[in-house]
């Protein structure tokens, strides 16, 4: 009964037809980085490690294959055999170069220790290499180096008389080298002393995107997406796509296109790059594309001419922070007030790139905002409420746009989780506890961004004060701190000392009057200065018309 094992970097368990201890071919690669955009190099398609079983002590051979659909020149290929752990550095062999050898598409080339068929088990060799010494249970390493890379195959003291096929399986970073479970279509399947056919390399396969990652290292603004940590490459970022060969029907060559949806409307409008994909047979490859710090939005990766519809597309949000944020929410408003929540475009914050967002595909708590939501400029607010009319009646004119989406679902007073999504991707969520009466779970007020300005320092009930319209201010100060709440006119004159306080939560209200009496309409500045010297400011309006 074959065992199924999961190989690091490989997306599905691989059944081994040979018991694992025996199958421990343990081919380790002390590798060089996989060349960007490089096509596959030659592979070691079969190894006759110990020909003793075929009664020919000189019968070692190795088979070098070309997995690509194009011809492959082996001019730069050099093969060495060495003692284990030396990786060829102290090779006792003189090595073999294959200058002038050209492999056709998916062709192979046989290198034998003994070229005489009568002495090597009947093999018809393409090149004799007397220094090839794999014989009879002695562990060695084979080192293949070529212009595009270098690989070391550890050939253990294996079971006599067995040749190993399909040794090439490129894992994540060339360190998970394991024998592949699949055999080459139409080829010999590891018969001792029997050479594989010329068509051993599987001509068809299906490529799938396993993962796309974005990584950037730029001082303190480092950010990374997806599960991979990625390699830091200076101050610029890179997109890295991992492509897997599924080993099923599909074209061999394809292109990976990367497009950017900067405004999160679900439509990729900017082509970032289009690169050819070349994956070694039966393996995976990482394709790295320099992306720079200007990539912000959703990256759409897609493989062209791939017949597998399930995994040839991949989307990756690339943002250092939230592009859109729920800044305020009020699930249990006072009598007569509507429920509402406030949303803000935060693309400019946390090192992002300020840009307009399309809310046509946005949803709040699963409720699509629809085309009426329009676009949201950087820093702009949008209030979604169950009743725009009652909202305006309560808060008067505010800076934020007010939207009443159809089919409003009441927010639960027993506590809930609010989720905001863009183009089907959840970009922010808040969890609030049970609330009662006029209490609010929100840290701020519509049109302001207390959460965005660094904490829970204050909370305003609106932007307008005046006769019959009180502006409520709630201040939360950390332990040991104190604050003063002042109102200034545009000349910088103090017109009202609204209050002071220490640590804890305190509430203040302003009716629009100054210390010297009623203030005239116009802009005034409400300023909360804390004992640590920091200050919050907000422009408020005094109205004297109902």
Partner 1 sequence: MIPWVIFRRSLMIALAAFHLALATAFAGNQALVTGFYAGSLGAGGATAAERSGFGQNPAALRPDRIGAHADFHQPFGMDGLQVSEAGISGDAGFFGAAFDWRETGVEGLYGEQGLQASQTLRLGRAGSAFPGILDLGASWIRWQSFWPGGGREIAWSHGCGAVWWPIRRFKAGAFAAGLPLEAGARERTDRVLQWGFEADSRDPDGDDFLQVLRLDFRKTADTPWRILASLSLRPHPSVEFTAGMANPPFQGSLGVRLAWHGAEWRQALRYHRYLGRTWLSGLVYSHPWRTSGAR
Q: Does 104 bind partner 1 (CB under 8 A)?
A: no
Compare residues 101 and 527 and give the one whose CB is closer to partner 1. 527
Position among 315, 508, 525, 530 found at the interface with partner 1 (CB under 8 A): 525
CB 498 to partner 1: min, Å:
12
If one asks whether residue 234 binds partner 1 (CB under 8 A), the answer comes out as no
Can you tell me the distance from the alpha carbon of 46 to that of 470, in angstroms, rounded to the nearest whole number?
Answer: 84
By the 8 A CB rule, do 45 and 196 touch? yes
- Segment contacting partner 1 by CB under 8 A, of 44-52, 203-211, 346-354, 519-527: 519-527
Listed ranges 81-89, 269-277, 406-414, 512-520: which one lies at the site for partner 1 (CB under 8 A)? 512-520
> How many amino acids of this chain bind partner 1 (CB under 8 A)?
37
Q: How far is the CB of 537 from partner 1 (least distance, A)?
A: 6
Cα–Cα distance measured from residue 442 to residue 519, given in angstroms and rounded to the nearest whole number: 30
Nearer to partner 1, 25 or 340 (CB): 340
Least gap, CB of 374 to partner 1 (angstroms): 15
Cα–Cα dist 303/361, whole Å: 25
Among residues 241, 495, 498, 512, the one that binds partner 1 under rule CB under 8 A: 495
Report CA Rg, the chain. 34
- Listed in sequence order, the residues at least 6 apart from 213 whose beta carbon sits closer than 8 Å to its beta carbon are 224, 225, 226, 227, 228, 230, 239, 240, 241, 242, 316
Element (H, E) at 389: helix 388-395
Contact 131, 80 (CB under 8 A): no
Of 47 and 384, which has the nearer Cβ to partner 1? 384
Of the pair 270, 520, the CB lying nearest partner 1 is at: 520
User: How far, in Å, are 108, 207, 307 from residue 204 at the CA level?
Assistant: 17, 10, 11
Candidates 203, 437, 468, 521; binder of partner 1 (CB under 8 A) is 521
Least distance CB 500 / partner 1 (angstroms): 13
Q: Are 140 and 87 in contact (CB under 8 A)?
A: no
Closest to partner 1 by CB, 96 vs 400, is 400
How far is the CA of 66 from the CAs of 81, 180, 519, in angstroms?
20, 16, 85
Query: Which one among 33, 104, 186, 522 touches partner 1, defined by CB under 8 A?
Result: 522
In the numeric block, which tokens belong to residue 156?
């253990």
Residue from 452, 527, 530, 531 touching partner 1 (CB under 8 A): that is: 527
Binding track over 438-477 against partner 1, x by CB under 8 A: -------------------------xx-------------
Which region among 39-47, 85-93, 261-269, 537-545 touches partner 1 (by CB under 8 A)?
A: 537-545
Which of 102, 372, 409, 537: binder of partner 1 (CB under 8 A)? 537
Q: Is 545 in the site for partner 1 (CB under 8 A)?
A: yes
Q: Which residues inside 289-308 make contact with partner 1, applying CB under 8 A?
A: none
Among positions 374-413, residues that touch partner 1 (CB under 8 A) are: 379, 392, 396-400
Tell me which residue of 384, 366, 367 sits closest to 376, measured CA to CA.
384
**Closer Cβ to partner 1, 247 or 378, answer by number:** 378
Contact predicate 271/261, CB 8 Å: no
- CB atoms near residue 294 (< 10 Å): 11
Checking DSSP bridges between strand 108-112 and strand 127-128, what pairing results, if any? parallel
Angle among Cα 159, 164, 170 to the nearest 5 degrees reads 130
529 binds partner 1 (CB under 8 A): yes
Binding segment for partner 1 (CB under 8 A), chosen from 6-14, 116-124, 346-354, 513-521, is: 513-521
For 436, other C-beta atoms within 10 Å of its C-beta total: 8
Q: Do residues 511 and 467 touch, judged by C-beta distance below 8 A?
A: yes
DSSP secondary structure code for residue 91 in this structure: -
Which CB, 7 or 348, lies closer to partner 1?
Answer: 348
Q: Give strand pairing partners of 223.
A: 216
Closest approach of partner 1 to the CB of residue 523, in Å: 5
- H or E element in which residue 394 lies: helix 388-395
Point out which residues bind partner 1 (CB under 8 A). 379, 392, 396-400, 463-464, 486, 488-495, 514-517, 519-523, 525, 527, 529, 535, 537, 539, 541-543, 545
């Amino acid at each position: 009964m074959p065992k199924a094992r999961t190989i690091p970097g490989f997306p599905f368990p691989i059944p081994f037809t040979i018991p694992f201890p025996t199958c421990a071919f343990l081919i380790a690669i002390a590798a060089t980085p996989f060349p960007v955009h490089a096509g596959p190099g030659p592979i070691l398609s079969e190894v006759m490690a110990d020909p003793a079983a075929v009664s020919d002590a000189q019968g070692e051979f190795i088979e070098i294959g070309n997995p690509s659909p194009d011809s492959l020149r082996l001019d730069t290929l050099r093969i060495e055999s060495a003692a284990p752990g030396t990786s060829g550095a102290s090779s006792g062999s003189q090595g073999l170069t294959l200058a002038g050898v050209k492999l056709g598409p998916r062709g192979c080339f046989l290198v034998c220790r003994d070229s005489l068929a009568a002495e090597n088990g009947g093999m018809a060799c393409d090149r004799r290499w007397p220094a090839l010494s794999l014989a009879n249970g002695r562990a060695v390493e084979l080192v293949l180096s070529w212009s595009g890379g270098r690989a070391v195959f550890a050939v253990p003291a294996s079971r006599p008389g067995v040749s190993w096929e399909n040794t090439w399986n490129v894992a994540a970073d060339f360190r998970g080298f394991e024998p592949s479970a699949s055999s080459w279509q139409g080829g010999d399947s590891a018969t001792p002393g029997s050479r594989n056919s010329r068509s051993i390399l599987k001509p068809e396969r299906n490529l799938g995107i396993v993962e796309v990652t974005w990584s950037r290292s730029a001082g303190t603004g480092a950010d990374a997406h997806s599960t991979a940590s990625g390699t830091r490459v200076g101050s610029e970022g890179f997109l890295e796509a991992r492509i897997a060969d599924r080993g099923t029907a599909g074209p061999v060559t394809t292109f990976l296109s990367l497009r950017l949806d900067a405004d999160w409307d679900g439509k990729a409008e900017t082509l970032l790059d289009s690169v050819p994909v070349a994956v070694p047979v039966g393996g995976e490859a990482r394709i790295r594309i320099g992306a720079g710090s200007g990539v912000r939005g959703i990256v759409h990766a897609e493989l062209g001419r791939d017949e597998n519809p399930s995994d040839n597309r991949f989307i990756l949000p690339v943002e250092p922070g939230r592009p859109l944020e729920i800044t305020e929410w009020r699930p249990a408003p006072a009598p007569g007030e509507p429920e509402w929540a406030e949303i803000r475009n935060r693309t400019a914050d946390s090192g992002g790139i300020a840009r307009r967002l399309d809310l046509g595909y946005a949803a709040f708590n699963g409720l699509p905002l629809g085309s009426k939501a329009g676009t949201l400029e950087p820093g702009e607010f949008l209030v979604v409420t169950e009743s725009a009319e009652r909202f305006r009646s309560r808060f008067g004119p505010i800076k934020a746009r007010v939207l009443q989406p159809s089919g409003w679902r009441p927010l639960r007073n027993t506590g809930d989780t609010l989720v905001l999504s863009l183009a089907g991707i959840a970009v922010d969520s808040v969890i609030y506890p049970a609330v009662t009466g006029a209490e609010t779970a929100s840290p701020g007020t519509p049109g302001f961004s207390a959460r965005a300005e660094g904490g829970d320092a204050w909370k305003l009930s609106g932007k307008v004060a005046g006769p019959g319209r009180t502006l409520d201010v709630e201040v939360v100060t950390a332990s040991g701190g104190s604050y003063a709440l002042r109102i200034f006119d545009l000349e910088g004159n103090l017109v009202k000392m609204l209050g002071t306080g220490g640590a804890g939560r305190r509430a203040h209200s302003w009716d629009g009057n100054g210390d010297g009496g009623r203030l005239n309409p116009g802009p005034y500045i409400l300023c909360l200065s804390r004992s640590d010297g920091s200050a919050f400011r907000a422009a408020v309006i005094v109205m004297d018309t109902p």
